[in-house]
Structure 1
Amino acid sequence: MNTPIAIIGSGMAGLSAAHALAAAGLNVQLFDKSRGSGGRMSSKRCDVGDLDLGAQYFTARDRHFVEAVRQWQENGWLAEWKPALYQSQGGQLSLSPDTQQRFVGVPRMSALTRQLLGDLPATFACRITEVFRGERHWHLVDADGQSHGPFSKVVVAVPAPQAVALLSAAPKLASAVASATMEPVWAVALSFARALDTPVEGCFVQDSPLDWLARNRSKPGRAVGMDSWVLHASSAWSRQHLDLPREAVIEQLRCAFAELLGCAVPEADFALAHRWLYARPAQGHQWGALADADLGLYVCGDWCLSGRVEGAWLSGQEAARRLLEHAA
């Protein structure tokens, strides 16, 4: 049996790399600090249903990703989302001219990554804090001091600032990753027993603390109960209010939401706030993936490319390709 490859992170990039490596006959072992897969595609299960607090949808442009999306759609793992889409600029609300196809996991965004995880071996609620190389193999240490290994190679598939801390064995690689900065985003979910009187189901926002909002029940496969909304603050506002108490974040973004819609928005019957410290890359890159192939260290993530779900998948594929190419 071949020595397994460790993959740190089970978001779209890590799962993409894991699938490609497993398809080539290699053993992989996934690790994730969360209780389940998905990363920023994860969804929150709560009393009002499932809420997509991270990635709201994704698009497909690259032909390889288009084919993967087609297969996932045939499997019933995702569906096309066709919201009544608006845009808001300078306080003026209008229909958006954006007509590109949008896809969502069914019945929640994280359902797609759960399906991709399948039977791949994974250890959850395990935050890896150190990656070091012994005489022949790699070993991982988690936050509880437990050691994992041996591994032949390591793929790091987490946000760039978290990846840097795991790359002390490869200073040049760590330096390259450190040049990728990421922006935070506050996400707020609001649920109302009585539906809000608005046709809006999704909206791109400018000139506001908000950047995006979506009506949860407009997405395919979602339960139609309470009228739940997910609001994403702009990165600029989130950065300025990074340590604001959650209750204050909820109230300020609820007020911005009411001002944007121009209709009565009462106190929510349910509300929560989630802070994504590393929500999106501050600038685009065309790295694909980064590697020290001689050492056997590979790094991938959406921040290596576009910052989108598609970028994460493509980056994972590229990391796997480079690993397989070097192993040949």
Structure 2
Amino acid sequence: MTVPIAIIGAGIAGLAAANTLHKAGHAVHLFDKSRGSGGRMSSKRCDVGVLDLGAQYFTARDRRFVDEVQQWQAKGWAIEWEPHLYHYKNGQLTPSPDEQTRWVGKPRMSAITRGLLGHLPVSFSCQITDLIHGEKHWHLLDAEGDEHGPFSHVIIATPAPQATSLLASAPKLASTAAGVKMEPAWAVALAFESPLDTPMEGCFVQGSPLDWLARNRSKPGRDSQPDTWVLHATSAWSKQNLDLPKEAVIEQLHGAFAELMHFPTPAPIFSLAHRWLYARPAAAHEWGALADADLGLYACGDWCLSGRVEGAWLSGQEAARRLIEHLA
């Protein structure tokens, strides 16, 4: 019997690792505490359609990732987004076009991770809390007290603070992960009955509780929705207001949005707030992935590199590459 490799986390890093291993002929099994794949690239279904509350778009710079994104495009999972971009600074709103190619999932961000998951075996709504290393194999314990295994190797593809406790049997890796600071971010969605009278479709914001805002329907495949806007707060504001009730978060960020718009915005017909506790690493690193090959324990994620979608994918690939190399 082939003993599979366990991958904890079905976001972009975990799925990149899973696909690389699967293509190399290794059996894998994914675990995720959420109800679906995607992590911060997931999309939320709600009364006004499907919203991208996490990653708003991504860019591709590294040749390997460029090739990968072109494959996603060919499969219909990803498409270029060319928004009318603005910049808000010192109370001024100015058009801010650039040459950057921005990609989004189609018809929602989660289409990419759903495509990558394909038919790979996965256990959703399963939070792994502990790893037990026997003589030969790994066993995983979940929050319900159930045991999963045996597994030949384990790849941890979660944000650094969650990875730290799972890396307890490799103290060196655990202390590296523990040293990574992750920044939080509040996200708010507002839907309006009539489209707001503005050509703006994306905006980089300075000097406000907001950091970024996007008109969701300007992204390809989302045009049937009411006029829905996704607002991201700055890390600093999110940190200060980490435990603020959602209603208050919506009220304050809606206020910041209205101020920026320079015209009276009507009351939204729908609103929601989502707190990303580990939205992005505070600094970039150059580890690629963390590995204790003798133990058969690996860790990957955007926090091992750049904090971007590209960094997460490259890190997952790197973890899988090191594992395959060790098995060779």
TM-score by length of 2: 0.99
Give the aligned residue type for 1:275.
R
Q: CA RMSD in A?
A: 0.7
Q: Following the alignment from structure 1 to structure 2, what is the Cα–Cα distance between the partners of residues 127 and 14?
A: 15
Give the aligned residue type for 2:292.
D
Q: Following the alignment from structure 1 to structure 2, what is the Cα–Cα distance between the partners of residues 225 and 188?
A: 16
1:190 aligns with 190
2:207 aligns with 207
2:168 aligns with 168
1:83 aligns with 83
Give the aligned residue type for 2:262.
G
Q: Following the alignment from structure 1 to structure 2, what is the Cα–Cα distance between the partners of residues 323 and 169?
A: 18
Deviations 1:88-123 (Å, cap 9, x if unpaired)? 111111111432000100110001100100000000
Q: Following the alignment from structure 1 to structure 2, what is the Cα–Cα distance between the partners of residues 286 and 208?
A: 31
SS in 1 for 2:190: strand
Give the aligned residue type for 2:91.
G
% identical equivalent positions: 71
Aligned residue pairs, count: 328
SS in 2 for 1:175: helix
1:131-142 → structure 2 map (5 Å cutoff): 131-142=131-142
Q: Are the equivalent residues in 2 in contact too, given 1:49–1:223 (CA < 8 A)?
A: no
SS in 2 for 1:211: strand
213-222 or 91-100, which deviates more: 91-100
Q: Are the equivalent residues in 1 in contact too, given 2:188–2:230 (CA < 8 A)?
A: yes
Deviations 1:258-290 (Å, cap 9, x if unpaired)? 111112212210000000000000001111001
Deviations 1:100-149 (Å, cap 9, x if unpaired)? 00010011000110010000000000000001101210010000000000
1:106 aligns with 106
SS in 1 for 2:188: strand
Q: Following the alignment from structure 1 to structure 2, what is the Cα–Cα distance between the partners of residues 215 and 29?
A: 37
1:267 aligns with 267
Q: Following the alignment from structure 1 to structure 2, what is the Cα–Cα distance between the partners of residues 254 and 215?
A: 14
Deviations 1:32-77 (Å, cap 9, x if unpaired)? 0000000000000011000000000100000000001111101111
Q: Are the equivalent residues in 2 in contact too, given 1:198–1:263 (CA < 8 A)?
A: no
Q: Following the alignment from structure 1 to structure 2, what is the Cα–Cα distance between the partners of residues 302 and 276?
A: 15
1:123 aligns with 123
2:231 aligns with 231
SS in 1 for 2:195: coil
Shift of the alpha carbon at 1:321? Answer: 0.6
List runs of 5+ in structure 2 lacking aligned partners.
none
Give the aligned residue type for 1:200.
M
Give the aligned residue type for 1:6.
A
SS in 2 for 1:207: coil
Q: Following the alignment from structure 2 to structure 1, what is the Cα–Cα distance between the partners of residues 326 and 207?
A: 48
List runs of 5+ in structure 1 lacking aligned partners.
none
Shift of the alpha carbon at 1:223? Answer: 3.4
Q: Following the alignment from structure 1 to structure 2, what is the Cα–Cα distance between the partners of residues 216 and 61?
A: 24
Give the aligned residue type for 2:302.
D
Q: Are the equivalent residues in 2 in contact too, given 1:201–1:214 (CA < 8 A)?
A: yes
Runs of 4+ in structure 1 deviating by more than 2 angstroms, as ranges, are none
Q: Following the alignment from structure 1 to structure 2, what is the Cα–Cα distance between the partners of residues 103 and 225?
A: 20
TM-score by length of 1: 0.99
1:286 aligns with 286
1:241 aligns with 241
Deviations 1:158-205 (Å, cap 9, x if unpaired)? 000000011111111100111111000000000001111111100011
